Amino acid sequence: MELYFKDNFLNAGIGDIMNETGGKIGSLDLKGAFGSSLDVYDVGGAKLFSGKFNWGKWEVTAADGRSVGMLRARLSFFSKRFTYDAVGSGMFEITSPALSKDYNIERSSGGTVATFARTNNWMMPGAYCLNTLTNDLDIYELVAVVMGVNAIRKRQQSSSNSGA
C-alpha cells in the first residue's frame, strides 16, 4: 500500500494522509513550530499514534500513551542509518545512501518491510511516499517513524549548520 503525507512549513498544522488514488485515509497533526511532536489519526479522527523526542531519540507511542517503539540515529559516514526498536515486533534497520532521499526499512534479520522517499507527486509535491510491503508494522505507526526520521534529519542538519 502506498501512502502520501508531508510536514508543513515550520512543522505546524494538520495535513492529510492519502492513499495511492488520492483518497484520504487519515491525518497528521504536527504540534508546533518550536517542537517536533506529532499525532497520527485514522480517517474517522481517532488518534492512533504519537511521536516526540525523548532524550535525543524519537519515541512512538500508542493512543493510550504506551511506548510502542524507539527510533535512533546511527553513526555512519557514507549513508544515513537509523534503528527502530518496535515493542513486540523486534528491531528494524532504516538506511539510505548518503546523497539519496530513498530509504529502506528492513527487519534486522533481513527482508524489506517498507520503503519511503521524498516525492514530487501530483497529489502532494514535496511529500513522503511510503510503500508498505508487509504487515510487520502498522501503517500509521510507520507514518510516525518516517516523520521521526525527518525530525532527526532536521536536527542533524540544524546542528551541522550552526557549527556544533
> What domains sit in the chain, N to C, each tagged with a CATH number?
2-161 (2.40.160.200)
- Give residue 155's pLDDT: 79
Question: What's the pLDDT tens digit per position in 82-139?
Answer: 999 999 999 999 999 988 889 999 998 889 999 999 887 666 667 899 999 999 999 9
11 or 31, which is more confident: 31
What is the Cα–Cα distance from 2 to 155, expressed in whole angstroms?
A: 27
